[in-house]
């Protein structure tokens, strides 16, 4: 059983935000990972640094994964596992960790005002998407459990649960009763709906991050007597994230029908033995692969099979399989505030069973699968009312408080626990966390012996006057107290090894947010579109199509006949293809006619030349190149010539969402701009004959743009009228217009970044937003001070 997800449940991503680019990290990245240990042992490397590429699925980093990195940055590899999504070299040479949290901001805000956020995007090479925030983003990021969020806990609470616990509960308030009612329910009522599966991140057919997943082919009609199968998987940590090492499947009678060890495809970094029970010695002789268990599972399950698991979405993702009929006991036994009960707790309280015993090495997957199945059958047999009468919430809270009051046997036991918070890690080495925020901000961390909270008031009257004079929603960027926080941060941050600095911005109105979303979709469609012509009326249309497709994937290509001579309108899937077509074809002769290749001219594309230049100069794109015309064997050919492509760190090969076939373009990531330029010269030369240029879209941006739902493209020249308040702000050039405000605060935070001491790991987190009108995913920026030339002094001066 994987470490269970507890605490406040992260708010689900909307469908629009979960559709991501099908980029696949392959090839050279594996070679890089293989050389990590050797690289870390080199004595001349004395500076902490981050790996060039982030190993994340579709460029999204969860709040738990952020916590992984922060704990590792504090303690190093001798005490906690390495983060699964990035590599931090020479952690012991880190001097400080600083996290800036821009509450109320999202990825949409960053790219809507991309040009204005110049200081931040140039300073940080690593950018990644964040899921929409939970109700307590800060607590999630530092790994606080729910009972730790309200403040200090009493040190002891001895004795049994009060005898009147059952009488004190109002059954109608129990979340199980609220969801299922008090009467017994059938099996079909317990199944997760498709919407619930989407909400809780189950793999679903047609989703971009599931394009390589197999269907179980269970598509029969479901009834209350359909067969149940308990499923549990164990995973290890590899260079590509978590991969399957064991699967157990138990039928309704309790018989184990499948129990297989599985050899992961990629290099194993951590066997997670304390959870999985799997060791190197156990896995060495295993030859079974993922495809073997996929085939076996498909053969075993009848058409109307119902899979039952605990956090089953993790198991199905490890199996890379899609199954339509599921019961998840961590959701079946509903808990307050989106939290989940541990399987061990439910087994003890509901079934009277002791599982996952501490004297045993890891979990027993078959035992867990059998327990999960018994819990589902108990629910069906006794009904929601019986379970609500047990008052599970009170029992769990009492158990957790008792556990919190017990002194740990040794520090190592606490640090190895997956729910250990950053605060506990700091406490174990005698250090404190600094938390700086405004006095009026709602989100905060509980003050305790290992967290120093300082609340600031602004001492800049100019800020307050600006706020008082503005009644526009775009005053989101002008939060009182930010100047005070910045000044206090310059003084306090050098005194603490770990600091969190929070700025809060008022959310945009739903109307403006939706308008921004629409305009972003239209803008990226338009700057990825080119018009070419004029052409001869007798032109070879097939040859023209072949010519324009040679620059990259085409979304659509249409003939424009409104002009005296024919023109072509080509909409590309990626911005690089459109730019490459313009640079290569504008002004050439076709059938004796000089053609012009250009973008449509609208109010949203007027600054596209500036935008393209800035995207090319984005620190994340430094060292990345785009290539078109690659074959299916391109990766193999590339790796056969390692001396020609020094510094190659990753090959990103997008795939078609429907067919799963590799597309005819790719991105290459190099350690330096010089290595990338040299490779580009070779690959576009006479021997390779590819078309290419330096990359413009970072991986996380490409994923986000591909994930936006289709928007009907407006006709070129059709005017998008900005909201009246934005028009007014533009006309009067008020300082609180968001473009100007974004520029101002980017410079302020950039200057603070420049004042940090060398060797500081710095993260800037835009948590995203969540409201009744919808969710916006967040964005993270990350770097180590003086890790890169662009992060040197004077960047934002």
pLDDT digits (tens, 9 = 90+) for 215-248: 998 888 899 999 999 999 999 888 888 899 999 9
Is 333's pLDDT higher than 70?
A: yes
The per-residue pLDDT for 27 is 34
The per-residue pLDDT for 44 is 46
Helix, strand, coil distribution of the chain in percent, nearest 5: 40, 20, 45
Express each pLDDT in 478-526 by its tens digit: 444 455 677 778 777 877 888 999 887 776 777 777 788 888 888 999 9
Q: What pLDDT band is residue 632 in, cutting at 50, 70 and 90? A: confident
Is 41's pLDDT higher than 80?
A: no
Is 550's pLDDT higher than 50?
A: yes
Express each pLDDT in 366-383 by its tens digit: 889 999 999 999 999 999
Q: What pLDDT band is residue 730 in, cutting at 50, 70 and 90? A: very low
Burial classification of residue 302, based on how many CB atoms lie within 10 Å of its CB (0-12 exposed, 13-18 middle, 19 or more buried): exposed
**Per DSSP, what are the bridge partners of residue 306?**
228
Express each pLDDT in 432-452 by its tens digit: 788 888 776 655 665 555 788
Once rounded to an integer, what is the mean pLDDT over residues 128-132?
88
Q: What pLDDT band is residue 74 in, cutting at 50, 70 and 90? A: confident
Express each pLDDT in 757-783 by its tens digit: 888 999 999 998 876 667 888 999 998
Once rounded to an integer, what is the mean pLDDT over residues 419-433?
76
Look at the pTM and tell me if it is higher than 0.75: no
Once rounded to an integer, what is the mean pLDDT over residues 582-610?
93
Whether 759 and 786 have beta carbons less than 8 Å apart is answered as yes
The rounded mean pLDDT for the chain is 77
Once rounded to an integer, what is the mean pLDDT over residues 585-602?
93
Q: What pLDDT band is residue 29 in, cutting at 50, 70 and 90? A: very low
Q: What are phi and psi of 133, to 5 degrees?
A: -75, 155
Which one-letter DSSP state was computed for residue 201?
T
Once rounded to an integer, what is the mean pLDDT over residues 193-212?
88
The per-residue pLDDT for 537 is 86
Q: What pLDDT band is residue 530 in, cutting at 50, 70 and 90? A: very high
Q: How many CA atoms lie within 13 A of 201 on its CB side?
A: 19
Question: What is the full DSSP assignment across 464-478?
Answer: HHHHHH---GGGGG-
Is 152's pLDDT higher than 70?
A: no
| Range with lowest mean pLDDT among 122-126, 297-301, 687-691 | 122-126
The per-residue pLDDT for 16 is 32
| Range with lowest mean pLDDT among 73-82, 260-269, 492-501, 615-624 | 73-82
pLDDT: which is higher, 313 or 46: 313
Long-range contacts of 295-302 (CB under 8 A, 24+ apart): 296/258, 296/260, 297/216, 297/247, 297/249, 297/258, 297/321, 298/214, 298/216, 298/217, 300/249, 300/257, 300/258, 301/216, 301/218, 301/229, 302/218, 302/220, 302/227
Residues 6+ apart with CB under 8 A from 515: 722, 723
Q: What percent of the chain has pLDDT over 70?
A: 74
How far apart are alpha carbons 74 and 595 in whole angstroms?
59
């Amino acid at each position: 059983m994987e470490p269970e997800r507890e605490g406040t449940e992260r708010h689900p991503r909307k469908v629009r935000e979960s559709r991501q680019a099908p980029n696949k990290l392959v090839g050279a990245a594996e070679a890089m990972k293989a050389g990590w240990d050797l690289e870390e042992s080199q004595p001349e490397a004395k500076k902490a640094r981050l790996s060039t590429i982030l190993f994340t699925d579709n460029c999204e980093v969860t709040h738990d994964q952020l916590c992984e990195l922060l704990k590792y940055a504090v303690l190093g590899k001798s005490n906690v596992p390495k983060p699964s999504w990035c590599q931090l070299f020479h952690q012991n040479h880190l001097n400080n960790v600083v996290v800036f949290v821009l509450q109320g901001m999202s990825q949409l805000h960053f790219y809507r005002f991309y040009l204005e956020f110049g200081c931040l995007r140039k300073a940080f090479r690593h950018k990644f998407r964040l899921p929409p925030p939970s109700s307590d983003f800060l607590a999630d990021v530092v790994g606080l459990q729910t009972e730790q969020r309200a403040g200090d806990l009493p040190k002891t609470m001895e004795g049994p649960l009060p005898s009147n616990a059952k009488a004190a509960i109002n059954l109608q308030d129990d979340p199980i009763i609220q969801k299922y009612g008090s009467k017994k329910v059938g099996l079909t009522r317990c199944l997760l709906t498709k919407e619930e599966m989407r909400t809780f991140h189950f793999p679903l057919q047609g989703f971009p991050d599931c394009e390589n997943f197999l269907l179980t082919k269970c598509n029969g009609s479901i009834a209350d007597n359909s067969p149940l199968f308990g499923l549990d998987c164990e995973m290890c940590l590899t260079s590509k994230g978590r991969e399957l090492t064991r699967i157990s499947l138990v039928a309704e009678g309790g018989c184990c029908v499948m129990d297989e060890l599985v050899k992961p495809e990629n290099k194993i970094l951590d066997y997670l033995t304390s959870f999985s029970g799997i060791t190197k010695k156990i896995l060495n002789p295993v030859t079974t692969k993922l495809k073997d268990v996929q085939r076996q599972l498909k053969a075993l399950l009848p058409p109307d099979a119902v899979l039952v698991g605990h956090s089953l979405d993790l198991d199905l993702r490890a199996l890379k399989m899609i199954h339509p009929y599921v019961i998840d006991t961590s959701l079946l036994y509903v808990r307050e505030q989106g939290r989940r009960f541990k399987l061990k707790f439910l087994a003890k309280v509901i079934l009277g069973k002791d599982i996952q015993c501490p004297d045993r090495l890891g979990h027993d997957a078959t035992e867990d699968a059998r327990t999960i199945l018994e819990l589902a059958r108990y629910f069906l047999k006794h009904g929601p009312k019986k379970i609500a009468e047990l008052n599970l919430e009170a029992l769990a809270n009492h158990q957790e408080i008792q556990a919190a009051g017990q002194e740990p046997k040794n520090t190592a036991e606490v640090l190895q626990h997956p729910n250990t918070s950053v605060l506990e890690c700091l406490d174990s080495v005698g250090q404190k966390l600094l938390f700086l925020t405004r006095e009026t901000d709602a989100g905060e961390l509980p003050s305790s012996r290992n967290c120093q909270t300082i609340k600031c008031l602004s001492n800049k009257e100019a800020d307050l006057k600006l706020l008082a004079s503005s009644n526009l929603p775009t005053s989101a960027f002008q939060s009182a107290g930010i100047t005070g926080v910045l000044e206090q941060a310059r003084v306090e941050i050098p005194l603490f090894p770990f600091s969190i600095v929070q700025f809060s911005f008022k959310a945009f109105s739903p109307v403006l947010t939706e308008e921004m979303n629409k305009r972003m979709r239209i803008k990226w469609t338009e700057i990825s579109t080119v018009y070419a012509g004029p052409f001869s009326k007798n032109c070879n249309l097939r040859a023209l199509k072949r010519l324009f497709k040679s620059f990259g994937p085409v979304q659509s290509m249409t003939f424009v006949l409104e002009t005296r001579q024919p023109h072509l309108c080509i909409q590309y899937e990626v911005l690089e293809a459109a730019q490459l077509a313009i640079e290569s074809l504008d002004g050439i002769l076709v059938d004796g006619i000089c053609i012009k290749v250009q973008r449509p001219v609208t109010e949203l594309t007027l600054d596209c030349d500036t935008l393209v230049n800035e995207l090319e100069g984005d620190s994340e794109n430094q060292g990345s190149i785009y290539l078109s015309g690659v074959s299916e064997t391109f990766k193999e050919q590339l790796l056969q010539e390692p001396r020609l492509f020094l510094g190659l760190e990753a090959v990103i090969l997008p795939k078609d969402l429907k067919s799963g076939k590799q597309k005819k373009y790719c991105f290459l990531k190099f350690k330096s701009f010089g290595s990338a330029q040299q490779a580009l010269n070779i690959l576009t030369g006479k021997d390779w004959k590819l078309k290419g240029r330096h990359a413009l879209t970072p991986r996380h941006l490409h994923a986000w743009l591909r994930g936006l739902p289709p928007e009907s493209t407006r006709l070129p020249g059709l005017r998008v009228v900005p909201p009246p308040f934005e028009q007014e702000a533009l006309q009067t050039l008020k300082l609180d217009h968001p473009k100007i405000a974004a520029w101002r605060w980017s410079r302020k935070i950039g200057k603070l970044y420049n004042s940090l001491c060398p060797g500081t790991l710095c993260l800037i987190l835009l948590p995203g937003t969540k409201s009744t009108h919808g969710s916006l995913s967040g964005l993270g920026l990350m770097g180590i001070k003086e890790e890169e030339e662009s992060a040197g002094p004077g960047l934002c001066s």
